[in-house]
């Protein structure tokens, strides 16, 4: 190990490089999923048109609608199409998780090299880390959720059609409602894929840190402050954590774990709170929101209280931005 600390800018530059590499791989997977979903919608379009034409001609009641052959045929085909899409989604998620785990081991070694640790890094095999990450197991709530995508989204579309007919909407508006409702399945798929990638990368990073605890004693929460993260991530930025803690970011959250290397100072020289306090007031209001900003300025809550928690069935506790109501209580 060298006796001189590495340049802070170099460590953060490397961290940003890692994020950009992840983003590129993420974007390729999301593009494939989006195109596959567009093909699903294209195959459904004729049945959607037939149903909306029938609704316009017959003006059915809710009871009549649910007995219509074209309505039931569309809902069945939506579920069948989305069952096929589930298989595509599962393959993408398994692939992107394996890639993220592999990248994490490589990147952890590169960060340590920037500190002068050039030998002795013990990188865990990808399959070992996959076994450690419970949310990637076959029986996990993640894969249960993927397996429910077709049924849940088909039921959602059915409910929206019934709602549109009950409210007397015209066929064109109902067609738009169906399109938007179907889009919810794609939104779910993209959010799941991106979050799996990010959690796999972070937890694989932490596993490699743990496996090298002779030189790494913890990690630092790093948010890319220039990218306008949420207030919870700003409040977490610069906080130091033990290797037994995970970085429990929210869905789509892109915060990273910088290592606390024994014998070296932190590469983060300013907390998120201190950074925020130096911003112009207009920027503070933009990031925090008017109500929260005014309550914070009035001393009604401490900055750290912006860190809220949500218990997720796949990942466990996740960091979210606390609501104004939760901050102010009664």
The pLDDT tens digits for 227-264 are: 899 999 999 999 999 999 999 999 999 999 999 999 88
pLDDT band at 208 (very low <50, low <70, confident <90, very high): very high
Query: Highest-confidence range of 113-117, 167-171, 267-271, by mean pLDDT?
Result: 167-171
Element (H, E) at 259: strand 256-261
Band (112; pLDDT cuts 50, 70, 90): confident
Q: What is the mean pLDDT of residues 217-229?
A: 92
| pLDDT at residue 8 in the model | 58
List the one residue out of 216, 236, 228 whose CA is nearest residue 309: 236
Q: What would the two tokens of residue 249 be?
A: 């970011």
- What's the pLDDT band for 4 if we cut at 50, 70, 90? very low
Choose between 7 and 33: higher pLDDT. Answer: 33
Q: Residue 12: left (phi > 0), alpha (psi -120 to 50), or beta?
A: alpha
Cα–Cα separations (whole angstroms), residue 286 to 86, 147, 229, 283, 293 = 38, 39, 12, 5, 9
Per-residue model confidence (pLDDT) at position 1: 40
Instruction: Provide the pLDDT confidence category of residue 295 given band limits of 50, 70 and 90.
Output: very high
Residue 276 is encoded by which pair of tokens?
A: 């925020």
**Residues near 223 by Cβ (< 8 Å), separated by ≥ 6?**
229, 233, 234, 236, 237, 255, 272
What average pLDDT is seen over the chain? 91
As a whole number of angstroms, the longest Cα–Cα distance in the chain is: 82
121 φ, ψ (degrees, to nearest 5): -75, 125
Domain ranges for the chain: 8-212, 216-330
């Amino acid at each position: 190990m060298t006796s001189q600390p590495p340049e802070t800018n170099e460590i953060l530059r490397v961290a940003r490089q890692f994020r950009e590499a992840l983003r590129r791989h993420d974007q390729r997977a999301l593009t494939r999923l989006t195109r596959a979903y567009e093909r699903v919608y294209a195959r459904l379009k004729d049945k959607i048109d037939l149903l909306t034409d029938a609704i316009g001609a017959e003006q059915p009641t809710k009871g009549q609608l649910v007995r219509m052959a074209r309505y039931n045929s569309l809902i069945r085909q939506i579920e069948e199409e989305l069952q096929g899409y589930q298989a595509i989604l599962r393959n993408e998620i398994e692939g992107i998780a394996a890639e993220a785990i592999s990248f994490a081991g490589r990147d952890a070694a590169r960060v340590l090299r920037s500190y002068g640790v050039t030998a002795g890094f013990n990188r865990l095999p990808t399959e070992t880390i996959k076994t450690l990450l419970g949310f990637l197991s076959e029986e996990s709530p993640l894969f249960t959720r993927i397996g429910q995508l077709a049924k849940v989204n088909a039921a959602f579309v059915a409910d929206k059609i019934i709602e549109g007919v009950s409210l007397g909407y015209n066929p064109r508006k109902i067609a738009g409602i169906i399109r938007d409702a179907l889009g919810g399945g794609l939104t779910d798929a993209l959010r799941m894929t991106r979050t799996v990638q990010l959690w796999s990368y972070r937890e694989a990073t932490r596993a490699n840190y743990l496996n090298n605890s002779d030189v790494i004693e913890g990690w630092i929460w790093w948010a890319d402050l220039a990218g306008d993260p949420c207030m919870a991530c700003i409040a977490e930025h610069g906080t130091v954590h033990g290797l037994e803690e995970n970085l429990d970011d929210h869905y789509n959250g892109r915060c990273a774990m910088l290592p606390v290397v024994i014998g070296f100072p932190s590469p983060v020289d300013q907390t998120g709170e201190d950074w925020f306090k130096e911003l112009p007031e207009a920027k503070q209001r933009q990031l925090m929101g008017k109500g929260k900003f005014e309550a914070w300025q009035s001393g009604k809550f401490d900055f750290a209280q912006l860190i809220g928690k949500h218990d997720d069935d796949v990942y466990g506790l996740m960091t979210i931005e606390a609501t104004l109501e939760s901050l102010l209580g009664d």
